[in-house]
Chains A and B, each alone.
Chain A
Amino acid sequence: MTTQTLQAETKAPTSGVVELSTVSRWYGNVVAVNDISMTLNPGVTGLLGPNGAGKTTVLHMMAGFLAPSKGAVTIDGKPTWRNPAVYRDLGLVTERESVHGYLTAGQFVTACAKMQKLPDPAAAARRALEQVEMTGAADRRIETFSKGMRQRTRVAAALVHEPRVLLLDEPFNGMDPRQRMHMMELLHRLGDNGHTILFSSHILEEVEQVAGLVQVIVAGRLAASGDYRRIRRLMTNRPHVFAVRSSDDRRLAVALIAEKSVAGIEIEATGMTVRAADYGNFTRVLPRIALDQGIRLQQVVPSDESLESVFSYLLEG
């Protein structure tokens, strides 16, 4: 298995650099994370991978909540495991939605500011709540909030000490489109301001909209890392399989096989399976050919569109 690593343009390492060097983590016989090395610089990076790939394990190791079985995890050169001092420069928003519901948003974020030993906790809390646009609800108890509001409150708590590094585990889960867009804007803004932001997601489109750089994890390994567009191209240029049914499968097959974008066709009783070498070209060519031949397309279904197959293609590459 070869790993495709696309080198990202590396900025001069300022502060807020998260580094994993040959990190592995196993639970008994199960390897959750396998020999991952990566460097995160200021800006927004997406940690992409299917469910169960090891994203959360990686995030927890970065945040000092899990010891690497092998290798080292550092932030600005300092280890994160058993080192509470790193939390001066680090904020974490976990996937699990756990908040002290009996506190108001204001009390909660102020308490976080106090525990960070900030000189003016109240002002810091106000600023953080303003950043996530929660000022209006600051005096309401958190248990009365919607999911998106809780999420924003937790982000405010993680941001109150203006950490150089912010880690978010599946921050868009369960958010409605408006909340999602709002969170994306916030991450953008923080990244532009020089924070190092890493968020995990199993949804390509989410990452596409926020992060220029991605780290793709599949089955505990780093499958790809670098510029999102190049990885996306790799993903879309892979062979695709379509299940096609039409008014005349055989005639359509004859016409299609002449096309460069088609790699193979199998005809079955219930329709045909077309292997396309190039997703984009094939999907443009197919309707045109059908129209020219006067054939009616009844069904065109991409049969391997699941994210897992996209990721495993990356690994095979």
Chain B
Amino acid sequence: MSTVALITARGLFGRRRALLLLPLPLLLVGLAAICRAYGVSPDMWGTAVIVGLGTSVVLPVVALIVGTGVLGSEIDDGTIVHILTKPLPRRDIILAKYAVAASVTAVTTAVPLYLTGLLAGSAKLGAALAVAAVVGALAYSALFLLFSLVSRRPVLLGLVYILVWEGLLGNFVSGTKILSVGQYVATIADKMAPTTIIESSVGLTTALAMSAIFVVLGTIFAINRLGSFSLAGETS
């Protein structure tokens, strides 16, 4: 593990905001467990819990907290300077941070989604959701890492993307679905384990290809932006 990745990971878990990662996954599994315990049919609660909460809230929000936490918070408090004043290719810095963000997000979301899928139907559904969550974690992390470099308010920008672009527009304007990571996640899960719970709206190939494009373009742009990172003058 590179030093940059180590510092990033310590920074992520050393801050209080790491605690924000816990409640959402716990809520997800908790709700599914309660429904299951009371013997409610998964047809009644599956969509609401898995899609309504799981893939369209827990996954993107965890990705946002982590994705902006690995870089945005260092830019915010100025500690990024200590990493940037080293003769490291900017590519290595972005890739290290991306690796931390994507893997932390993947673990934090794939595990609860697997359990939820298991409770709602079968191990197959659980596995499909876990794989979809990993793909989603990869794509979202690249996007939110880039947001940290294009805006001083990456969390706000990320929330707009999740709530407005994916949440609001995705329901009314079908064209936005092609640029919506949430749709790729739903598609991958649905194609791997077809159920009535999840509905997919784009093709599997499209979903996988677009996820890859998010990852590649997101990191390339992020590397380029980091290369031109400027410090604001602080002559007061």
Q: Which residues of A are in contact with B by a Cβ distance under 8 Å?
A: 32, 51-57, 60, 63, 65-67, 82, 84-88, 90-92, 94-96, 98-100, 102-103, 108, 111-112, 114-117, 157-158
Contacts and interface: CB of A to CB of B under 8 A. Distances in A.
Given A52-B236, A57-B233, A66-B231, 12 more contacts: A56-B233, A65-B230, A86-B87, A90-B85, A91-B85, A92-B81, A95-B234, A99-B79, A100-B79, A103-B10, A114-B3, A115-B88
Contacts of B77: 98
A230 to B, nearest CB: 26
Contacts of B227: 82
Contacts of A60: 230-231, 233
B87 to A, nearest CB: 5
Contacts of B82: 98-100, 108, 112, 157
B85 to A, nearest CB: 5
Interface string B212-228: 00000000000000011
Given A102-B11, A158-B85, A67 B230 contact: yes
B7 interface: yes
Contacts of A86: 87
Interface string B174-204: 0000000000000000000000000000000
B14 to A, nearest CB: 4
A51 B87 contact: no
Contacts of B88: 84, 115
A84 B231 contact: no
18 contacts: A32-B233, A51-B235, A54-B233, A56-B233, A60-B230, A60-B231, A63-B85, A65-B81, A66-B230, A84-B84, A84-B86, A84-B88, A88-B87, A98-B78, A100-B79, A111-B6, A112-B82, A115-B3
Contacts of B14: 102
A63 B236 CA distance: 20
Nearest to A90: B85
Interface residues of B, number: 29
Given A84-B89, A90-B85, A102-B10, A96 B234 contact: yes
Contact of A94 (B78, B86, B90, B236): B78
Contacts of B231: 60, 65-66, 94
A53 B230 CA distance: 19
A66 B84 CA distance: 13
B228 A67 contact: yes
B81 A51 contact: no
Contacts, number: 87
Contact of A87 (B7, B86, B230): B86
Nearest to A112: B82
B87 A117 contact: yes
B88 to A, nearest CB: 6
A86 B99 CA distance: 26
Contact of B235 (A57, A63, A84, A114): A57
A24 to B, nearest CB: 14
Interface in B84-136: 84-90
Given A82-B227, A98-B77, A112-B86, A52 B235 contact: yes
Given A65-B230, A98-B77, A98-B81, A116 B87 contact: yes
Nearest to A99: B79
Contacts of A102: 10-11, 14
B89 to A, nearest CB: 7
B235 to A, nearest CB: 5
A87 B87 contact: yes
A65 B3 CA distance: 22
A230 B79 CA distance: 39
A54 B235 contact: yes
Contacts of A54: 233, 235
A67 to B, nearest CB: 7
The 4 closest A-B pairs by CB, nearest first: A98-B78, A102-B14, A115-B86, A65-B231
Contacts of A108: 82
B209 interface: no
Contacts of B233: 32, 54, 56-57, 60, 66
Nearest to A157: B82
Given A65-B230, A84-B90, A115 B83 contact: yes
Which of B3, B78, B233 has the most chain A CB atoms closer than 10 A to its own CB? B233
Given A87-B86, A158-B85, A111 B3 contact: yes
Contacts of B10: 100, 102-103
Contacts of B157: none
A53 B89 CA distance: 33
A87 B207 CA distance: 41
B34 to A, nearest CB: 37
A115 B92 CA distance: 11
B4 interface: yes
Nearest to B89: A84
A119 B227 CA distance: 26
A76 to B, nearest CB: 14
A91 to B, nearest CB: 7
